[in-house]
Amino acid sequence: MTVGIDEGLPEFDSLGKLEVIDWVRRGRNDFPFFISHIFPYSWRCWQGHKDVESGKRWLSPPENVWVPAPHIMRWARELQSSRLTARLCARKHLKSTTFYAHVMWKLFKCQENDFEGLYLSYKDEMAEYHTTLQKRSIKVNPFFADINDLTSAGTLLNYSWYDDERATFRITPAGILGFKRGRHPRVVWCLVPETKVRTRDGYKKIDEVKIGDEVFTHNRRYREVTEVMSRDIDEELIKLTLENGTVVRLTGNHRVLTKDGWKRADELVEDDDLVSFYPT
């Protein structure tokens, strides 16, 4: 059993339903509460956890003691209140672990809007190592038991709290040495500028859509655009030609709704049936 900031927390199964609801509400609104009450359950469950798919037991995290150092809570308050932060300190001060908790907190709050981010480290391999530990921490935490993992990739974080995959959360690992300019995580265009989008005021080219416009979604409703952003790409575009002659060009990681569920554009095959919400 882990010690430190985790000491005194009850076993998850002993929490009452109303207490869990209260912790979830407080955890979504307050990162210090999340890191002191919800995140430690990932560390409790690490020891001896057996992966269902592989049958192998995971090793313990690099540090299996969650130290109740005052700087952890100070960092938590700063990360919540500041848009930009920086940390410079010696090793073994739980910098990476604090960021693991921050990533999980962002996921915990991802209920309404899509979220896309990058987890950067010195090299790709180190970034993937960190996202692997984050993914395992999410998997064993009972507060995340109802989340849907949208990918089998062990180093990619791609989740949604909903079966219809709205409000998706995606974190991609990347190394600084191999990082390419032009990536703008959070909200991105995955369609070429001339792609037409259905809005309440009629069809518009996607590069003409602005904040405040209402666009038609796969849930058959209009939602207000709260942020727009573009990114440069250095990859081959996917060209989709539909039976009605419509041609769509998009990046390979753009998700497309088919009758068998969501698929990446680069995973589509010729016989896939796309779901259309266009007026007939």
| Length, in residues, of the chain | 280
**pLDDT (0 to 100) of residue 57:** 42
Strands (E), the chain: 115-121, 148-149, 157-160, 169-175, 196-199, 202-205, 214-216, 222-224, 238-241, 247-250, 255-258, 261-264
**pLDDT (0 to 100) of residue 71:** 85
Nearest to residue 31, comparing CAs of 85, 106, 132, 91? 106
Contact 2, 65 (CB under 8 A): yes
Burial of 122 by CB count in 10 Å (0-12 exposed, 13-18 middle, 19+ buried)?
A: exposed
The DSSP output letter for 88 is -
pLDDT in tens, the chain (280 residues): 333 344 567 888 888 999 999 999 999 999 999 998 899 888 766 554 444 444 444 444 444 445 457 888 888 999 899 877 777 776 667 788 888 899 999 999 988 778 888 888 877 788 888 899 899 899 989 999 999 998 888 888 999 998 877 788 988 887 765 555 545 444 333 456 667 778 888 888 877 888 888 888 766 778 888 766 665 566 677 888 888 777 888 877 777 888 887 788 888 888 888 876 554 3
Nearest to residue 6, comparing CAs of 63, 48, 49? 63
Q: What separation in angstroms does the CA of 88 have from each of 93, 101, 158?
A: 10, 18, 29
Contact 166, 111 (CB under 8 A): no
* pTM given for the model: 0.59
The DSSP output letter for 77 is H
Strand partners, 215: 199, 223
| Burial readout 201-234 (b: 16 or more C-beta within 10 A, e: otherwise) | eeebebeebeeebebbeeeeeeeeeeeeeeeebe
Helical segments of 15-123, H only: 17-29, 31-33, 40-46, 70-81, 95-109
Q: What separation in angstroms does the CA of 36 have from each of 26, 109, 135, 200?
A: 11, 16, 19, 44
The DSSP output letter for 35 is I
Structure tokens at 148: 């849907």
Cα end-to-end distance, the chain, whole Å: 60
